[in-house]
Structure 1
Amino acid sequence: MSDSLSILLTNDDGIDSTGFRALYEAFDGFADVTAVAPADDQSAVGRQLSRDVDVTEHEWGYAVHGTPADCTVVGLEALCPDVDMVVAGCNKGANLGAYVLGRSGTVSAAVEAAFFDVPAIAVSLYVPGDGDVPWSEKAEDVHDYRHATAAATYLAKNAPAAGVFEEAEYLNVNAPMVDGDGPVPLQVTTPSTMYEMTARHDGENGRITLHDGVWERMRESDFPDPDGTDRRAVVEGRVSVSPLTAPHTTKRHDALDSLVASYDGAD
Structure 2
Amino acid sequence: MQNYNILITNDDGIDSPGLRAAVKAVLTIGNVTVIAPSYQQTGTGRGLIGEKQASLKPIEYHLNGKEIRAYHCECSPALIVRHSLRTIFKENMPDLLISGINYGENLGIDITSSGTIGAALEASSSGIPGIAISKQTDIESHHRYTDQDWSASSFFLNRFAKSLLAKKLQTDVDVLKIDVPIDATPLTDFKITRLSRVGYYSKSIDNPNVNSRIGDGKTIINVNGADLDPESDIYAFAIDKVVSVTPLSVDLTSRVNLFELQEVLGK
Specify the TM-score bucket, using the shorter chain as the normaliser: 0.7 to 0.9
Aligned to 1:244: 248
> 3-state DSSP class of the match of 1:41?
coil
> 3-state DSSP class of the match of 2:127?
coil
Aligned to 2:6: 7
Map Cα deviations across residues 183-234 of structure 1 (whole Å, 9 max, x no partner). Answer: 2211100111123746756448454757654x1x44xx66632322111222
2:158 corresponds, among 149, 153, 156, to 153
Shift of residue 244, structure 1, vs aligned partner: 1.1
> 3-state DSSP class of the match of 1:164?
coil
Q: 1:203 to 1:116 in 2, by over 3 A?
A: closer
Q: Does structure 1 residue 90 correspond to structure 2 residue 101?
A: yes
Aligned to 1:265: none
> 3-state DSSP class of the match of 2:176?
strand
Q: 1:23 to 1:203 in 2, by over 3 A?
A: closer
Q: 1:15 to 1:249 in 2, by over 3 A?
A: same
How high is the sequence identity, in percent, across the aligned residues?
A: 27
Shift of residue 175, structure 1, vs aligned partner: 0.6
| TM-score, length-scaled by structure 2 | 0.81
1:107-126 equivalences under 5 Å are: 107-126=117-136
The answer to whether the 8 A contact 1:86-1:110 is kept is: yes
2:191 corresponds, among 180, 187, 193, to 187
Q: 1:197 to 1:33 in 2, by over 3 A?
A: same
2:262 corresponds, among 246, 254, 260, to 254
Map Cα deviations across residues 81-137 of structure 1 (whole Å, 9 max, x no partner). Answer: 42101110010000000x2121000000011011101101100001256xxxx5559
1:128-167 equivalences under 5 Å are: 128=138, 135=141, 140-141=146-147, 144-167=149-172
Q: 1:167 to 1:207 in 2, by over 3 A?
A: closer
Unpaired segments of 5 or more residues in structure 1?
A: 262-267
Greater C-alpha Rg: 1
Q: CA–CA distance in 1 between the matches of 2:7 and 2:59?
A: 14
Aligned to 2:56: 55
Aligned to 2:20: 21
The answer to whether the 8 A contact 1:34-1:80 is kept is: no
Q: Which moved more, 1:201-210 or 1:112-121?
A: 201-210
The answer to whether the 8 A contact 1:44-1:104 is kept is: yes
> 3-state DSSP class of the match of 1:102?
helix
> 3-state DSSP class of the match of 2:194?
coil
Aligned to 2:182: 177
Q: Does structure 1 residue 75 correspond to structure 2 residue 84?
A: yes
Letter in 2 for 1:140: T
Q: CA–CA distance in 1 between the matches of 2:227 and 2:16?
A: 33
Unpaired segments of 5 or more residues in structure 2?
A: 61-67
> 3-state DSSP class of the match of 1:147?
helix
Q: CA–CA distance in 2 between the matches of 1:138 and 1:44?
A: 14
> 3-state DSSP class of the match of 2:227?
coil
Give the root-mean-square deviation of aligned CA atoms: 2.8
> 3-state DSSP class of the match of 1:62?
strand
Shift of residue 167, structure 1, vs aligned partner: 4.0
Q: How many residue pairs align between the two structures?
A: 247
The answer to whether the 8 A contact 2:43-2:114 is kept is: yes
